[in-house]
Structure 1
């Protein structure tokens, strides 16, 4: 049975557990994720830092001497999406961010969720969102879900926030999904669907959304800025890799079998099975 204490997204056969960014200014970016996003430091070294909630790692930051700033058109990260437990937590975060005098880049009601958009100091996209309950979603007979982009009433959300001091991101916050920029959308769709076993849950013009176990999306991919982008270089700032955690061994075994069958180069590390997707974005499978 799924763990009722976990958000629906994390109880599915697979889900994204953490992201890893290469940054130019480690101290500045880390300070932003701690003070503005509300993550805590779990581990730290001269060249890196691991941030998370309740001892659970959600984001790794590293720096490297040969890193070059990724152009806006490069394959890589569109945004890392932090899933908060409920609308109360979303309102609390919005109040904190607004009272710091900072402005959002967007705010949307996606029918399945309510989302706030911003970027870190080096331009890495961030989404802070809360899910509506799955029974509130419109699910079609083929298993896909209705998603849209409607205006979110920010003032109403802000006004609903409790008037109490900010103490950091609420317990239970997780990485709900990751949204990628890719060079070739059909290639990304074939990979995430046919190799990793995720279902196409929705499509927008230039974007596909993939989920496991009926979730609206754990991974998304778009070509809005990156159509035709070459393979991502390791010596770029931005998304180095992310982790897809499997709760279902059969689903993991099927993915590994598909990787082997297609002769995709993989390496086994302490973290899990590592390889690159068709856009050159690093990916690690764990269980």
Structure 2
């Protein structure tokens, strides 16, 4: 069953796909299939592409020289899978509870309701549903009102339909990606001033960026990684992700800024590939 496109994906730019490097491909892939309900879309010698309804969301790859990234390395804080409705979030929670999925936490962020967990190699995951955009509150500077309140998991669980769960619903997407970086001023400079995303919210040690009035498409924090330098080759965790532009003018502006600042980039797979200041790969595509 397909659903209306989520608000996050209708903005000028949004996160399209994410790519994780893992040590145990069968174990991690099995987790994303059985616990999150993603399906294998494509197999290759070094990895798999997982997604929903034939739409790629997550690439998993491995290699002989892969090594575990330290907890304080720059990289992934979590990949956030956006459900098309609160009902689907409740349905997933019911599935998780019946399959003894270990949760790391759950929060009401005012703009969304979110559940947190980790995959078998410690990659953070958020499963969330947005509240209707018209219910969000904005400050005069355009930033959005967000908070971290306790989420009533029992109430959410009780709202789930009593039916069989058969995987992620059509319309599920990567709503945002949350990064670990070395320092916030440098993240602000890169995501706001270079790529042109708007700073939508700030917390101690964290910034949240988006386009088109979304609460955040990309977040960056230093909670585990303050002072971290660029990622080393062969580290597990987040290799790269894709920022897809619905608005070609915004893409052209971002690419022109890269050229102006002489930031290294290259054309790859129909997009422009570069690294952020911490060596996390990023593809800008239309």
Q: TM-score, normalised by structure 2?
A: 0.98
Contact kept in structure 2, 1:81 and 1:176, CA below 8 Å: yes
Structure 1 residue 233: Cα displacement: 1.5
Tell me if the contact between 2:84 and 2:129 (Cα under 8 Å) persists in the aligned partners.
Answer: yes
Query: How big is each residue's C-alpha offset from its partner over 1:15-67, in whole Å with a ceiling of 9 and x where there is no partner?
Result: 00010000000000000000000101100123110000111100000001111
- In the alignment, which residue of structure 1 is the partner of 2:6? 7
Classify the secondary structure of the residue corresponding to 2:35.
helix
Deviations 1:169-222 (A, max 9, x none): 111000000000001110011100011110000001100000100000000000
State the shift of 1:5 in Å: 2.5
- Whether 1:222 aligns to 2:221 is yes
What residue is the counterpart of 1:111 in the other structure? Answer: 110
Task: Please list every run of at least 4 consecutive aligned residues from structure 1 whose deviation after the TM superposition is greater than 3 angstroms.
Answer: none
CA distance in 1 between counterparts of 2:62 and 2:177 reads 21
**Displacement after TM superposition at 1:271 (Å):** 4.5
**Alignment check: 8 A CA contact 2:35 2:101 kept:** no
RMSD: 0.9
Query: What residue is the counterpart of 2:232 in the other structure?
Result: 233
Find the counterpart in structure 2 of residue 180 from structure 1: 179
Offset at residue 103 of structure 1 (A): 2.1
Does residue 52 of structure 2 align to residue 53 of structure 1?
yes
Q: Distance in 2 between matches of 1:14 and 1:55?
A: 21
Quick check: 2:23–2:66 contact (8 Å CA) kept in 1? yes
> CA contact under 8 A between 1:51 and 1:58: conserved in structure 2?
yes
- Say yes or no: does 1:72 pair with 2:71: yes
Is the CA contact (8 Å cut-off) linking 2:93 and 2:157 kept in structure 1? yes
1:210 to 2:205 alignment: no
Deviation of the 1:131 alpha carbon: 0.3
* Cα offsets for 1:103-149 (capped at 9, x unmatched): 21000000000000000000000000000111100011211100000
* Alignment correspondent of 1:88: 87
Equivalent positions of 1:150-169 (< 5 A) are 150-169=149-168
| Larger deviation, residues 134-143 vs 174-183 | 134-143
Partner in structure 2 of residue 29 of structure 1: 28
Runs of at least 5 residues in structure 2 that lack an aligned partner in the other structure:
none
SS in 2 for 1:58: strand
Quote the residue 1:248 is aligned against. 247
Match status 1:140 vs 2:132: no
Deviations 1:75-121 (A, max 9, x none): 00000000001110000000001100122100000000000000000
Structure 1 unaligned blocks of 5 or more: none
The SS at the match of 1:158 is: helix
CA distance in 1, matches of 2:272, 2:223: 29
Quote the residue 1:129 is aligned against: 128
